[in-house]
Each structure stands twice: as structure tokens, then as C-alpha cells.
Structure 1
Amino acid sequence: MGERKRYSKEFKQEAVRLAKEPDRSVLQVAQGLGISDSALHRWMREFAGQGGAAFPGHGKQVLTPEQAEIKRLQRELDIARQERDVLKKAGGLLRPGTMTAFEFIEGHRDEFRLDVMCRMLGVTKSGYFTWRGRPISTRKTKDAELKDEIERIHIRSKGRYGVPRVHAELRAAGTACSRRRVARLMREAGLRGKVRKRYKATTQADPAHPPAEDLVRRNFEVTAPNTVWVSDMSYLPTKEGWLYLAVVLDLHSRLVVGWSMGERLTTDLPLSALKMALDRRRPPPGLIHHSDRGSQYTSSAYRGALEAQGALASMGKKGDCFDNAVVESFFSTLKRELLLDHVFHTRQEGRSQVFEYVEMFYNRQRRHSFLGYRSPVEFERIREPVAA
């Protein structure tokens, strides 16, 4: 390959915003996005010097972001609070001749989590139960350890993962256990993934522009990258109004190869997502681009961009979401995992969290059931042909 990757103005702006958050390092953000830290440092210098005029292109000026309250991390924050409070309270009680660690744990079981107290006081659960005179079985000990690991996985996924993906994470880490056992332990811990919401259409056909033929015909299994792309748009609620999102996915790996966000459902929105995808992937002529019959996709500007690339337009039937089921499934997943228990205060907050979700979580970390519980990036890497 050897070609230098190109990134849109929108991508660079959101990467810079993410790197400027106080709880992140430039290296951490760069690794999460699959870019070099030197490139990210360069973007930050350019933005610091030029502000909204940096990164000439089709993006809009970056707004000054406010630190958003992240409600879905309440569980993780509660654990951090308990860790602090355990150390603070234990420091005044665990003195020679007064109280042992096990006695402190016994007296504060109703106030703090057992695993937090044991971890912060440097003792084990099994040691505590032995001291308490309640021997536990090897199976229960292993269940307790496995439940701790399940909770950590659930927290890392921001509460998005259900049983299948938690089980896949455990297997990837070398932990042998059945899916039924994971389900039981998650049920006991009160953990569950986020559920789907019903589909709602967002695009309308334009009778002045005839639709293209359906070249995909619901054949969503593609054996090579940059062969068939699917595209669509959806909406995300914020307290400032709707934030619209357009995406382009590669059917081979389900990777989001292009995206764009804006305040209006104009042709520029999906066109920007398409341009990002073309810049990043540079597909050969003959690529099939599949979408619905929305006026944005049948417009002369959009069709002209496809023709200039040598790509073939394909469109599903009117009002049939199943003809574009893969990208509809993506939107359903994004809304379930990002919006189920949260409403964005501003459009900028929405932009930032969608950027992080797509580029750092969905593309590079989230385990996809269709891909054998691999992430899209990992799936493409293991499927990439070895050069002779």
C-alpha cells in the first residue's frame, strides 16, 4: 500500500478536541485513533495557531467545548469514590492494637463494596471469608474472581456490552468459561447490555431524480474490502436541536470508512462522509455504493462524485429498511450504546462523543458478532493478504 492516509477537517478537529481533555494524553488518543502521535501534535499546533481556519476543507469551525457530564460512567465513578472513602476511613481506624483489616471489612459491609475494600486494604476475599469462619468452595471463589473481571469489562465498554461480547472479551483474554455462566454472573451482578430501539426513516425520495438499480439485493456478505459500501443518515437528539450523522460502511468488515455530522439534512452531509471514505480508502473503479432512495443520494452532486470515482450507484426499494439493513443496524447499535441513558447538552458534545465512539470504540475495539466477535480493524488486519 504505502500511500499516505488523508484525514478530513472534521476528523482532525475532533481528534484535537479529544487530545486536549485533561484526563487524556496525546499518545493515548493517537493510539486509540490509529494515528501517529507526531501527526496529532502537528494538528494541535496548527489548530492553536490558526483556530477555525486550520485544516482547510469542508468542515465547520470548532466550538469551545464544555466538559460534559458523563452519566453512563456512574458505576466507575462510584467505585473510585468508594476507593477514596475506604482509604480515608480505614486510615483512622487501622492502627496497632485497635482493628485489623478483616475487622474493618466486617464492620463496613453495608457501606462499601467487598471487592473495593479488599483491594484497597491489600487482602483477598478468600482470606476474609476464611477469617470470618465461612469456608467457601473453589467454585464460588472462581465465580467471585470472574464476576470482578466481568464488571471491569462492562465498565470499559461503558455499559454497552451484553453477555455475548463480555464472553468474547473473556475468551480473548484466555479465560475459559461458558456463555451460560457469564449470563448467570451478570444477572447476579445486575449487569446487562443496552437494548435496541425501533427504526424510524429520516430520508425522502426526490421524484425529479430517478433512483439507481439495486445491485446488492440484500447480499451483505462481501469477501473483499472496498468492493461494496453502504451509506445512510440518521439523527441524534441534543438540547440544542437535532444533530444529523451520515456514515459510509465497508460491507466486508463493517468498518465505518467515512462519516460527517451537521445541523441540516442537506446533500453536503453525506457528500462529506463519502469524500472522507474516498480519501481514506481510495477504492479501485467498480466499487458498488449502496444507499436508500433519499434525495441526497439521488442528487446530481452525489451521483457525480460516484461517477468521478468510477463507482456504481445502488439503491434499495422505497421505504424498505431491510434493503440497507447493515447500516440501519449500525445506527441502532450506536443509539443504544451511546444515547440510551443520556441526552447531549450541546451539538458539540454530540459531535465529540460520536467521534470517540466511531473512531476509538466501534472501529477498533467493539466486538462484532458477524465478524466472529472481532473488531472491524482487527478483522481487516487478519484478512489482509500477505505480500509475496
Structure 2
Amino acid sequence: MAKRKRRVFTPEFKADAVRLCKSGDRTIAQVANDLDLTETALRAWVKRADAQAPKSATSNELTTPEREELAELRRKVKRLEMERENLKKSSNILREGEHVKFAFIDVEKTFWPIQVLCFVLGVSRSGYYAWKARPKSKARTSDEKLATQIEASHKRSRGTYGSPRVHRELRARGIRVARKRVERLMRQQGIAAKRKRRFRRTTDSKHAHPVAANLLERRFDVDLPNTAWVTDVTYVWTLEGWLYLAAILDLYSRRVVGWATSETNDRELALQALRSAVNSRKPPTGLLHHSDRGSPYASADYRAGLERHGFVASMSRKGDCWDNAVAESFFATIKGELIDHENYVTRACAIASIADYIDNFYNPVRRHSSIGYVSPIEFELILLQSNKLSA
């Protein structure tokens, strides 16, 4: 068999081969196979290139914005390592800190060359590839699977759930997991609930209408549906101007039983919400109807509407928002989970968005902490089912 003729490679060829190895897309073995080289020779070229390159060369070639981004990378990794400083050391060959760095490189390699990331984090490229090739531990595999389920649950909640509701959602789907583990994985994946802005009141209590006594007295937990309702009004900004939203909630299940919108905050808006609630629930006489002291609810027309249906009026004390906390909590929720994150061009767009949130998410899906982390509709169905079983 003829001996293979010794090949001579130019410095440019060697440099390009080393660049392919350092690009992070392929391993040294893969590059060697693609270029018809021996892996030993290619590794020697890479090692020689690393030795010849000044230690600060990678950093010096960076622009100021790139240095700032690298500094941010260092800060991120430091935070990740601090979160794990109380964990026991891994029984694996790798230290916990190295595992964190390699995992971080694996995520960020889409945006930065692996060589740069390894330089910034103070680890070797060979160490990263060895970590990459090592079979995943059972704990890591389990965490990755659970992280996918957590992300899916968060998406189903329209990005509104924090760790308590995500934990309940997973448990409801038969996934047994500790809440602290859910918190840790959500923190690592950067998954968080939408933040709520400070809620502002719209009540105008400066009027001459008669005011009802506070009969509810903050007794927000009732035993049956259609025993007590609470109502309030809030505002929504659109590019066409303000849109006002009136809503009525059943205290038993926290379900929105009626709502209406209007360009003006007046008694007709409040009456539309009342008609909506009565038509959908057909409650018995004697129902306790609680509101703030706003002029729409104290008006003669609204009081007449309550009397016509046999409802008993109750109003919050002056300047005490806690007396109507359930209604205000709903508005804080819908603003924090929906309205504050939207830019409505028209009032019609806002109305459609609100209808979708209430009818397709809040009432049938969203888990409410005060009723055992089930949805309002599910809470009412549980009551109906228990009544059938006891009958």
C-alpha cells in the first residue's frame, strides 16, 4: 500500500481551520472529518493558536458596547452562582459553579462565540465540550422537563401566573412538585407574572343623593351564590379617548356576573352592568348589593332598579376603599394582567379584549387564591355537584 504523501498546509488554512473549531457549531473531531484532517493535528493547531494569542487579546479587540455586554454576562453568572451557594456540592466531577457557567454558555452561544464566553467566564473550551458530551443527570433531565411544563402553564395563563398559581396548575394536572422547586425554575428561566401598576380610584362621592349604610361590613366570604354582589367602575385609555368599565362580582365565587362599558361614567353605565348581571343570574330577592358612594350608584334611577328587583343596597364608608376591596381587587387584576400591557387604538378593540379576558379566561380558567386556587366557574360547579350528591 502506497504511503500517503505528506501534505503541507499554509498558515491561512490552519487559521481558518482553527476558526471553524472555535465557532462552536462543530466539535474538533467533526471539523477534522469535514476537512480530511487528523484530529491530533487539528487539536495541535488549536492549542498552538491559544498559546500564541495574548490572554487579553480577546478583551482588547472588543468595542466599548461589547465590553459592557460582557460585563453584564459576568454579573448574570455571578447572580446565578449566588443563588446556588447554599446547595450541596455535586457528587459529579464538575463543581456546581462550573456547571452553572457551562449551562449559561450553552444558552448564550447563539449570541456570542463560545471562545469569548469561555474567556469571560474563566473556563476552558475543552471543559465546556466535555460537559456538553456528558450524559445528563436524572435531576437535570427532570428539571428540564418540569421547566417545559412550567413554561406551558405560564403561557396558558396568558403570562399572568406567578409561582403559586403555576404550582397549583401543575398539581391540578397530576404533576407532584414542591412549590420552592417551581419558584427556583421560574427564576432560572426568567418566567414571572405580569406586574400590576398602582390602582387609582374613580369614585365621585360629592353629590346630594342619599347614601345607604354599610351592611356588608367587609364580610366578603358568603356561603351561597347570589347572596351578595359587589360592584365598581374603572377607566381604560384608548387612542379614541377614555372607556369606562363597570363590573359586578358575586362574592361567593368572585365571578364577574355582569359588566358594561361606556364613553362616560354615569348612571346608565352602572344600570347596564346591573341589567347584565340580573339577566345572566336571575337572583332571588333579598340579595345584598354593595358599591361605593359614587353618584351613579346613589342616583334615583339606580336605587329604583335595586328596589325593582328586591335587592338590598349597601355602600362603603366615605374614603374607605377596603370596604369594597373585592371589586377593586378585580380591577387591579384585569389592569395588571391585561389592560396595562395593551395599547388600544379604538374603544371597540378595548371592549373585545376585555370581553375575551372575562369570558374566556377570568371566569372559566384563572385560578383565584381566595377560593382554593380554582376558577370562579369551577368553584360554582363544585357546589352544584356537592348539592346533587347530598340530595
- Report the TM range for the smaller structure's normalisation: 0.5 to 0.7
Residues 342-379 of structure 1 show CA distances to partners (whole Å, capped at 9, x for unaligned) of 22121111101000000110000000000100000000
Q: Which residue pairs with 1:20 in the alignment?
A: none
Q: Which residue pairs with 1:6 in the alignment?
A: none
Q: Which residue pairs with 2:235 in the alignment?
A: 235
Displacement after TM superposition at 1:107 (Å): 11
Q: Which residue pairs with 1:372 in the alignment?
A: 372
Q: Which residue pairs with 1:136 in the alignment?
A: 136
- Equivalent positions of 1:100-115 (< 5 A) are 110-111=109-110
Displacement after TM superposition at 1:272 (Å): 0.4
Q: Does 2:170 align with 1:187?
A: no
Displacement after TM superposition at 1:303 (Å): 0.5
- Equivalent positions of 1:165-180 (< 5 A) are 165-180=165-180
Query: Which whole-Å CA distance do the structure 2 matches of 1:137 and 1:315 have between them?
Result: 60
Displacement after TM superposition at 1:273 (Å): 0.5
Residues 3-26 of structure 1 show CA distances to partners (whole Å, capped at 9, x for unaligned) of xxxxxxxxxxxxxxxxxxxxxxxx
Query: Which whole-Å CA distance do the structure 1 matches of 2:132 and 2:200 have between them?
Result: 56
Residues 10-54 of structure 1 show CA distances to partners (whole Å, capped at 9, x for unaligned) of xxxxxxxxxxxxxxxxxxxxxxxxxxxxxxxxxxxxxxxxxxxxx
Q: Which residue pairs with 2:347 in the alignment?
A: 347
Displacement after TM superposition at 1:111 (Å): 3.9
Query: Which whole-Å CA distance do the structure 1 matches of 2:130 and 2:265 have between them?
Result: 63
Displacement after TM superposition at 1:221 (Å): 0.5
Partner of 2:133, secondary structure, is coil
Partner of 1:370, secondary structure, is helix
Residues 89-110 of structure 1 show CA distances to partners (whole Å, capped at 9, x for unaligned) of xxxxxxxx99xxxxxxx99984
Query: Which whole-Å CA distance do the structure 2 matches of 1:249 and 1:268 have between them?
Result: 18
Q: Which residue pairs with 2:99 in the alignment?
A: none
Q: Does 2:292 align with 1:292?
A: yes
Number of corresponding residues: 269
Cα root mean square deviation, aligned: 2.2
- Equivalent positions of 1:1-388 (< 5 A) are 110-111=109-110, 132-384=132-384, 385-386=387-388, 388=391
Q: Residues 349, 134 of structure 1: CA spacing in aligned structure 2 closer, same or farther, 3 A cutoff?
A: same
Segments of 5+ residues of structure 1 without an aligned counterpart are: 1-96, 99-105, 113-128
Q: Residues 108, 187 of structure 1: CA spacing in aligned structure 2 closer, same or farther, 3 A cutoff?
A: closer
Give the conservation status (yes or no) of the 8 Å contact 1:206–1:298. no
Partner of 2:265, secondary structure, is coil
Of 130-139 and 261-270, deviating more is 130-139
Displacement after TM superposition at 1:158 (Å): 1.6
Query: Which whole-Å CA distance do the structure 1 matches of 2:298 and 2:107 have between them?
Result: 65
Give the conservation status (yes or no) of the 8 Å contact 1:194–1:340. no
TM-score, structure 2 normalization? 0.66
Q: What is the letter of the counterpart of residue 237 of structure 1?
A: W
Query: Which whole-Å CA distance do the structure 2 matches of 1:340 and 1:246 have between them?
Result: 17
Q: Residues 130, 171 of structure 1: CA spacing in aligned structure 2 closer, same or farther, 3 A cutoff?
A: farther
Give the conservation status (yes or no) of the 8 Å contact 1:287–1:311. yes
Query: Which whole-Å CA distance do the structure 2 matches of 1:108 and 1:351 have between them?
Result: 40
Q: Quick one: higher RCO (CA 8 Å, sep 6+), 1 or 2?
A: 1
Displacement after TM superposition at 1:206 (Å): 4.7
Displacement after TM superposition at 1:193 (Å): 0.5
Partner of 2:341, secondary structure, is coil
Q: What is the letter of the counterpart of residue 246 of structure 2?
A: A
TM-score, structure 1 normalization? 0.66
Query: Which whole-Å CA distance do the structure 1 matches of 2:266 and 2:130 have between them?
Result: 66
Partner of 1:233, secondary structure, is strand
Query: Which whole-Å CA distance do the structure 2 matches of 1:341 and 1:107 have between them?
Result: 32
Q: What is the letter of the counterpart of residue 225 of structure 2?
A: P
Query: Which whole-Å CA distance do the structure 2 matches of 1:141 and 1:184 have between them?
Result: 15
Q: Which residue pairs with 1:8 in the alignment?
A: none
Q: Residues 304, 107 of structure 1: CA spacing in aligned structure 2 closer, same or farther, 3 A cutoff?
A: closer
Segments of 5+ residues of structure 2 without an aligned counterpart are: 1-32, 35-104, 112-128
Q: What is the letter of the counterpart of residue 304 of structure 1?
A: A
Partner of 1:142, secondary structure, is helix
Q: What is the letter of the counterpart of residue 293 of structure 2?
A: R
Q: What is the letter of the counterpart of residue 183 of structure 1?
A: E
Q: Residues 131, 247 of structure 1: CA spacing in aligned structure 2 closer, same or farther, 3 A cutoff?
A: same
Displacement after TM superposition at 1:228 (Å): 0.2
Q: What is the letter of the counterpart of residue 386 of structure 1?
A: K
Partner of 1:218, secondary structure, is coil
Partner of 1:256, secondary structure, is strand
